[in-house]
Amino acid sequence: MRENEILLKEQLNEVVVKFVLYKPLIARSAKAGQFVILRGAENGERIPVTLVDWDSKKGTITVIIQSIGKSTFMFNSLKQGDLFLNVLGPLGTPVDIQNYGTVAVVGGGVGIAEVYPIAKALKAAGNKVISILGARTKELVILEEEMKSVSDITLPCTDDGSYGQKGMVTDVLKGIVTAGEKINAGFVIGPIPMMKFTSKLMVELGIEPYASLNPIMLDGTGMCGCCRVTVEGKVRFACVDGPMFPARTIDFDELIRRTSEYKNEEKQAVQEYEKDHKCKIGLH
Ligand SMILES: Cc1cc2nc3c(=O)[nH]c(=O)nc-3n(C[C@H](O)[C@H](O)[C@H](O)COP(=O)(O)OP(=O)(O)OC[C@H]3O[C@@H](n4cnc5c(N)ncnc54)[C@H](O)[C@@H]3O)c2cc1C
Ligand code: FES
């Protein structure tokens, strides 16, 4: 086995791929909420992805990647036996895992993969874990069995009603609390508008919200300032201070603006890549 080698590749749906990589040092020290920065080639971008799972005995880490633009499409076309050029990590501050009592763990789309290690750690810490898995349609609901294995209750939902409850994660959350469940803390990962509205609802329902932020990152070590976010009126760097933050006072609108800054360049990169590769990218 070689460092950074893809030991296993599994297509979870049309746009999401699971990779198990050989990376013993990271596997030994990873904690829930941390991430790695991947690079596929010498002139390639640095792409942050969550550490979804790890096995310190086997020396493996698991990442799950959604094809959304040029770099993630290139990653997802790698094969078993191929190597990532760089796998840097573990990065970020681990999530503060405590026994909160009852917790809601909410994942949207590929965010389901990103909340899995947090749900697992919260369950191990003695919490009652209620997991809500949201997606646009049935095919995009991922890791349901894995989430069930670390949750007391698992509730899938889809926008089009093709699987689980029809509606958004906020509808499901409101339903549980209205039915009498007292939830103490909530952890949400997914598209930024979903995190914004879920966090707002949690505050209204008396649940302490936490959200994992996904600004554009470069170095991932607090040096470049690229991942600047505003929390409690203060500038924080998501790569070192987060990515998980208390969500009551996150400036989500600023995050939406900052993550859209390179839309034109990203679109152009995809179009140029598509010219050479007949592929399905940009399905987001
Ligand atoms: C801490 C963290 C953990 C993440 N975990 C996962 C994960 O587990 N699985 C997963 O599929 N995705 C994850 N992401 C998102 C992933 O990094 C982006 O989808 C990826 O960088 C897109 O790159 P691209 O070239 O394919 O797409 P592009 O077309 O370049 O960009 C598409 C969108 O992705 C975002 N993005 C672009 N470049 C970066 C960058 N360098 N850093 C962060 N965001 C960027 C922007 O919002 C952009 O609009 C995570 C992001 C962060 C910050
Ligand atoms: S990515 Fe550079 S400071 Fe966070």
pLDDT, position 278? 59
Q: What is the mean pLDDT of residues 41-52?
A: 94
Q: What's residue 282's pLDDT?
A: 45
**How remote is the CA of residue 241 from the centroid of ligand 2, in Å?**
10
How confident is the model at residue 37, as a pLDDT?
98
Question: Which of 35, 236, 239, 241 to mutate for ligand 2's pocket (most ligand atoms within 8 Å of CB)?
Answer: 239
Average pLDDT over residues 90-103: 98
- Helix and strand totals (H; E) in the chain: 9, 16
Mutate to test the pocket of ligand 2, among 38, 91, 223, 229 (most ligand atoms within 8 A of CB): 223
- Predicted confidence (pLDDT) at residue 176 exceeds the cutoff of 80: yes
Does the C-beta of 222 come closer than 6 Å to ligand 2? yes
How far apart are the C-alpha atoms of 256 and 208, rounded to whole Å? 22
Share of the chain above pLDDT 70, in %: 96
Query: Is residue 227 within 6 Å of ligand 2 at its C-beta?
Result: yes
What pLDDT, on the 0 to 100 scale, is given for residue 268?
A: 73
Q: What pLDDT is stored for residue 79 in this prediction?
A: 97
168 lines ligand 2 (CB under 6 A): no
Ligand 1 contact via 40 beta carbon (within 6 Å): no
> Following CA atoms 60, 106, 210, 255 in sequence, which dihedral angle do they give, to the nearest 10 degrees?
90
| Closest to 133 (Cα-Cα) out of 174, 101, 164 | 164
Residue type at 244 in one-letter notation: M
Q: Are 33 and 118 contacting, i.e. CB atoms less than 8 angstroms apart?
A: yes
Cα–Cα distance measured from residue 177 to residue 112, given in angstroms and rounded to the nearest whole number: 21
Residue 279, pLDDT score = 53
pLDDT class for 284, splitting at 50, 70, 90?
very low
Identify the pLDDT of residue 277. Answer: 72
User: pLDDT band for position 269 (50/70/90)?
Assistant: confident
Residue-level pLDDT at 263 = 74
The verdict on the CB of residue 219 being under 6 Å from ligand 1 is: no
Q: Give domain 6-91's CATH architecture.
A: Beta Barrel (2.40)
Look at strands 47-50 and 35-39 and give their pairing.
antiparallel
Ligand 2, closest atom to CA 223? 3
5/52 Cα distance (integer angstroms): 17
* Residue 272: pLDDT over 60: yes
Q: What is the mean pLDDT of residues 208-221?
A: 96
Cα 188 to middle of ligand 2, angstroms: 22
Write out the DSSP string of 162-223: SSSEES-HHHHHHHHHHTT----EEEEESSHHHHHHHHHHHHHTT-EEEEE-----SSSSSS
Distances 217 to 28, 46, 106, 239 between C-alpha atoms, Å: 24, 8, 23, 7
Residue 273: how many other CB atoms lie within 10 Å: 17
Return the domain boundaries, the chain. Answer: 6-91, 102-259
- 200 is written with which tokens? 């707002």
Going by CA atoms, what residue is nearest to atom 19 of ligand 1?
68
Looking at domain 102-259, its CATH class is alpha beta
- Weakest mean pLDDT among 16-25, 73-82, 201-210, 268-277: 268-277
- Tens of pLDDT, residue by residue over 68-94, are 999 999 999 999 999 999 999 999 999
Ligand 1 close to Cβ of residue 47 (< 6 A): yes
For 128-158, b/e burial (b = at least 16 CB within 10 A) is bbbbbbbbeeeebbbbeebbeebbeebbbbb
Residue 280 has pLDDT above 80, yes or no: no
- The residue to mutate among 36, 47, 91, 217, having the most atoms of ligand 2 within 8 angstroms of its beta carbon, is 217
Rounded Cα distance between 160 and 148, Å, is 22
**Ligand 2 near 237 CB (within 6 A):** yes
The pTM of the full predicted model, rounded to 2 decimals, is 0.94
Nearest atom within ligand 2 for CA of residue 222: 3
β-bridge mates for residue 107, sequence order:
133, 189
Looking at per-residue pLDDT, the higher value among 259 and 277 belongs to 259
